[in-house]
Amino acid sequence: MEVVSENRSFGGRQIVAKHPSDACGCDMTFAVYLPPQAEEGPVPVLWYLSGLTCTHENAMSKAGLQEHAAHHGLAIVYPDTSPRGDEIANDEAYDLGQGAGFYVNAVCDPWKANFQMYDYVTDELRGLVERTYPVTDRHGITGHSMGGHGALTIAIRNPDRYHSLTAFAPITNPTCSDWGRKQLSAYLGDDETSWTNYDATLLLEEHGWKGDILIDQGASDQFLDLLKPESLSAAMARRRQPGEFRMQRGYDHSYYFVSTFAGEHVAWHAERLI
């Protein structure tokens, strides 16, 4: 593993690293924030999954999580959103290919050779983080937009591996949205029964979540029709799933929205992880 950069931040260390990935068949870059408490011993981990077009750097620079993580004593891991490189399959559209991995394991060409983001996040990168940094096996997960979709689906499918769950403006029902049907058909094929493993609304209705869930959604989000927050909120009600689904008046889809509520999300995870 190669350390690309390291900076002091709120008494802790903000690290960017690169490593060869077996899951994705290429070099992958990720970031990890270690709070000052990590110098005294292992700390719990909060995973932040980013949205369409983002890299590890967007949330690292704009979400403002480090100050809150330092206060509570949590490490933050920011994976990339897809494999990248000249030899990696891509598409001219911003919402497919590089920068748009959707946290799935692709089974169709030309994507299946590299786009194994579900396995990368849940297994390979997690193992690397636990072997390399002073962290415990207490992990929480959150994310924004496409990353919120990833956080919800990954946690619901792996309740034994994640102990807290939140999301910012997640894509909640991709099997019924243009932000989802296009990508799921490209990565997984035309058999829509295989798509359900990557739809938070359908997964929650079938399995529920072992704990409580916090969802924040901007009420002035320009992508509400694609995100379909009503689908997940209705599923939570039907399932009688403990949690909070908050429509935040006046907020849009940007990192201004994410950073505004980042402190509340980090505190939510800290209460459940520490």
Instruction: Give me the active site residues, please.
Output: 145, 221, 253
What's the residue count for the chain? 274
Cβ burial 112-126 (10 Å sphere, 16+ → b, else e): eebbbbbbbbbebbb
Contact present, 21 and 120 (Cβ < 8 Å)? yes
The answer for residues whose C-beta is within 8 angstroms of residue 161's C-beta and 6 or more apart is 122, 126, 139
